[in-house]
Structure 1
Amino acid sequence: MNTRDQHHFTSDSDTSALPAVVDRATWQAELDKLLVREKAHTRQGDAIAAARRRLPMVEVDPTIQLIGPQGPVTLLEVFEGRKLLIVYYHMWHDGQSADAQCEGCTFFNGQVRELSYLHSRDVTYATFCEGPYEASARYRDFMGWDVPWYSAQDSADALLAGRGFGTLACYLRHGDQVFETYWTTGRGVETMAPSYVLLDVTVYGRQETWEDSPAGWPQRWGNTGEQFRTGGRPTAQWSRLAAGRSDDLTS
């Protein structure tokens, strides 16, 4: 287990750059103008979601096998009897240590925790990992995640049809038939990460170099993966090490 000092987190933004200071009435007037744009953005998002609900779908073989905690299971069984299934396809660097595992997948997949609300809408959430079940499940346990976890190592070609991991996909069960209804990747998977949504409402945003920010605003990270790492490993791992968990993926 790597026990290096976990206190690598930034305690401030190392910047003297601040927004202009105005009286409350002026501030509220500017905020009100922005809220008009935000409401339009919300309505456009509603319209896109409505179009998403009207997409056609494609049939998927329900007997495709994955590996779970009890061994082989079919895609149909992953639904756990529910009507809908959301799957995140988690990247895996086979043979690599925990600190070398995908920082982006750790960031996004690790923020989906409370599943009861999905279950109440007849939706199952599951992770399909690119790696072998034993090692990848140990990573899940080290991180403290309790979402259903399966290895898709031998079924990725059939499931992804030429796409890659780091994909979020949605499925519908109709009797014993399974259909894929939607998928997204890249920035599309940001829907999984409330941390980004919360950062976006702060004055300094995500502090990444691609953002359109005023001069002097902190922009510490490029879109290279390091925005999800602290001290050389995925940021969320430090708290697990501090709690005494082992990141050994081989035992």
Structure 2
Amino acid sequence: MEADLALIGPHGPLTLLEAFEGRRQLITYYFMWHPGHPAAEQCEDCTWCATQVAELPYTHSRDITYAVFCQGPCDENSRYRDFMGWDMPWYAAEESLDALLVGRPIGPMYLVCYVRDGDRVFETYRTTRRGVEAMDYSYSLMDLTVYGRQEPWQDSPPGWPHSWIGTSERLRINGHPIAQWSRMHAKRSDDLGNHPSVNRRSEPKALRAARRGNRFMEPFSAGVARV
């Protein structure tokens, strides 16, 4: 693989080789992106995956760098990273996706590993869809509890909680990826600079409440932990 494939980081252009930060291996998460769409409409699955990775010293101790390669425009996705408060290495890879994902569709989420030998870079592993659950700890912990994930596909006895009525919304609350709500409650700006100002009167009541600094609405039954 070409080591000089172009990326864009917070300090400007860099290469794939430079994204290793001098370490031997690199794990990358390819973040899906919907150009021109507001934060609420960005991928809930990728937001869920990216939120799981908070501490990197353990991977660094094994000579491994972790980074997110976003598949959208730099200006938009860097604002999203700031809104979410993530501090992991984050690069816009839009310019080089054809070469980075050669033979694979551009757009879906991917988890890809690389190793370098001097100035040469090799791809060693890739997965997508359910394979990216390797990044998650939330579901792994839920699976240890008596009620599990509380999703409709579970063969649970009558009367057991099923908080999520449809799998398409399992990672959203009131139209937003779940992890966004704590950021909005903290009054962080979710403006990605890519769409006209919205009519606040047309916003969901829960979102207007969050913008006013009130406790956001949550469709959980009693006894279920809040976000």
Fold-level similarity (TM above 0.5): yes
Residue of 140, 156, 170 corresponding to 2:97: 156
Matching residue of 1:249: 192
Instruction: State the shift of 1:222 in Å.
Output: 3.1
TM-score normalized with structure 1 length: 0.73
Q: Secondary structure at the match of 1:216?
A: coil
1:87 and 1:123 map into 2 onto residues whose CA distance is: 11
Deviations 1:1-47 (A, max 9, x none): xxxxxxxxxxxxxxxxxxxxxxxxxxxxxxxxxxxxxxxxxxxxxxx
For residues 100 and 63 of structure 1, do their structure 2 counterparts lie closer, same or farther at Cα, with a shift above 3 Å needed? same
Instruction: State whether residues 86 and 168 of structure 1, in contact with CA within 8 Å, keep that contact through their aligned partners in structure 2.
Output: yes
Report how far residue 63 of structure 1 moved.
1.1
2:133 aligned with 1:207: no
Match status 1:222 vs 2:166: yes
**Residue identity opposite 1:222 in structure 2:** G
Provide TM-score, normalisation by structure 2: 0.81
| Alpha-carbon distance change, 221 to 119 in structure 1, aligned in 2, over 3 angstroms | farther
Quote the residue 1:177 is aligned against: 120
> 2:2 & 2:155 partners in 1: Cα distance?
44
Q: Which residue matches 2:203?
A: none
Kindly state the Cα deviation for residue 132 of structure 1 after the two structures are TM-superposed: 1.0
> Are 1:89 and 2:25 matched, yes or no?
no
Structure 1 residue 221, shift from structure 2 partner: 3.8
Counterpart in the other structure of 1:118: 59
Aligned to 2:224: none
- Residue 131 (str. 1) matches residue 92 (str. 2): no
Higher-Rg structure is: 1
SS in 1 for 2:66: strand
Query: Which residue of the partner structure matches residue 201 of structure 2?
Result: none
Give the C-alpha shift of residue 207 in structure 1.
1.3
Q: Distance in 2 between matches of 1:182 and 1:213?
A: 36
Q: 8 Å contact 1:210–1:222 — kept in the other structure?
A: no
Pairwise CA distance, 1:91: 0.5
Structure 2 residue ranges without an equivalent (≥5): 195-227
1:69 Cα shift?
A: 1.4
In percent, how many aligned pairs have the same letter? 60
Aligned length: 191
> Structure 1 or 2: larger helix share?
1
Q: After superposition, what is the alpha-carbon deviation per residue over 1:132-162, rounded to whole angstroms, capped at 9, x for unaligned?
A: 1121011011101001011111111111122
1:5 corresponds in structure 2 to none
Matches within 5 A, 1:1-251: 60-161=1-102, 162-164=104-106, 165-219=108-162, 220-224=164-168, 226-250=169-193
CA RMSD of aligned residues (A): 1.3
Aligned amino acid, residue 112 of structure 2 = A
5+ residue gaps, structure 1, are 1-59
CA distance in 1, matches of 2:19, 2:59: 15
- List per-residue Cα deviations over 1:181-206 (Å, max 9, x = no partner): 00111111111111111111111111
Is 1:207–1:221's contact at 8 Å kept on the other side of the alignment? no
Q: Which has the higher contact order (CA 8 A, sep 6+)?
A: 1
